[in-house]
A and B are shown apart, each in its own frame.
Chain A
Amino acid sequence: MSLKFEQLDVLKEMANIGAAHSATALSLMLGRKIGMDVPDVKAVTFNELTEAMGGAEREVACIFLRVAGEISGSMYFIMEVTQAEKFVREITGHQSLNLSNPPYSEYGKSAIKELGNIVIGSYLTSLSDLTKLSFIPEVPEFSIDMFGAVISEGLIELSKAADFAVLIRTVIREEDRQERHSFQGHLFLLPDYESFDHFYRALGVSDES
């Protein structure tokens, strides 16, 4: 399969809309100004994908959910572990919540999953509105582990048909850039192989047209 320039462009526009909705939802939840960077859409090999996030061994806090429906794929929200911990302490008001060392706080884990529901849910809802395609998100799961190990789970379906992934990535971050450690998270969508055609048809850039 080859990806044409205009097809990648359409995916980028779609990601822009999705991520903008996620950022707004997060802003409302946190009562802070959350913005997003221009989405990054490209076809990458599995190894390029892990390199894009600083290597397979890098420790990350990750919310992952599978999406079923006309569009299927894997959706991730990834943060630095220290950021995730800071985040749950902030939203719950409990400064002792621990996500840096196991056993992780169960309360902290549910707070993170809730964050995932909001960020990913608003992203997918806007994509569904835009494309009129159905997305059925499954229950989010949370893990703190090596990036390579968590991302490969989301590649399994896709890997049966392809040796590359289309990475649709947006960085969501606090607008106040002065504080270096302000909130930042990476939102990824890795569509399954069969989903590309549905996307393109819905968005009017199918090969057959």
Chain B
Amino acid sequence: MNLETAEIIKVGIADMNAAASPKKLRTSGLGSCVGLVLYDHERKNAGMAHIMLPTSDLARNEKFNRYKYADTAFHDLLKQLEKMGSPASRLKAKMAGGAQMFAFKTQNETMRIGPRNIEAVKELLTCHSIPLISSETGGSSGRTIEFDPATSLLTIRTVNLGTSII
């Protein structure tokens, strides 16, 4: 299959998706949200989540979107990849996001959500012994990320800083 025509699976805000090569996964406009990629390099399977908040303990309703929170999205991502033949023991991780988009002077907890999202994801990875291969987090820029399960490369685009591949 021609790379140019490879299908791109979109992941929205507070959303999650999984795909196998030659498909690619993409999420746009990550601010303080974290884009987490779990992938199986040999089988070329990958899953991506666009996480808004660090823990489902913050949910004020019983019924909530599981993909919005790091812990529940992580759990569902693992289950999805396991169904595709990639259990946690085969997985590696990459992530991007967790920026602080506005330089608010107040020490408002809400405005520290980026770093909290990053910490939450790191803890979950440690907990499941999944190695974090590379990441580009923090700063004050929005990011669009695209993961190619064929190469295990994560392409990160920002408005001001150009494109990087990790």
Contacts and interface: CB of A to CB of B under 8 A. Distances in A.
Q: Do A and B come from one complex?
A: yes
A150 interface: yes
Contact of A46 (B14, B103, B108, B113): B14
Contacts of B160: 101-102, 144-145
Contacts of A150: 31, 101-102, 142
Contacts of A50: 13, 29
Interface in B100-115: 101-106, 108, 110-111, 113
Nearest to A194: B60
B105 A152 contact: no
B109 to A, nearest CB: 10
A183 to B, nearest CB: 23
Contact of B104 (A102, A141, A149): A141
A8 interface: no
Given A141-B104, A149-B30, A150-B142, A156 B159 contact: no
B144 to A, nearest CB: 5
Interface in A103-151: 138-139, 141, 143-151
A197 interface: no
Q: Which 7 A-B pairs have the closest CB atoms?
A: A148-B29, A149-B142, A56-B29, A149-B31, A146-B142, A141-B102, A56-B28
Q: Which secondary structure dominates where chain B touches chain A? A: loop
Contacts of B58: 160
Given A150-B101, A152-B29, A152-B31, 7 more contacts: A56-B28, A57-B144, A59-B159, A102-B160, A146-B143, A159-B68, A160-B59
Contacts of B65: 163
A204 interface: no
A152 B98 CA distance: 12
Contacts of B33: 152
Contacts of B60: 160-161, 193
A34 interface: no
B33 to A, nearest CB: 6
Contacts of B141: 145, 149
A66 B104 CA distance: 10
Given A59-B159, A159-B52, A153 B102 contact: yes
B15 interface: yes
Interface string B127-166: 0000000000000111110000000000000011000000
A46 B68 CA distance: 11
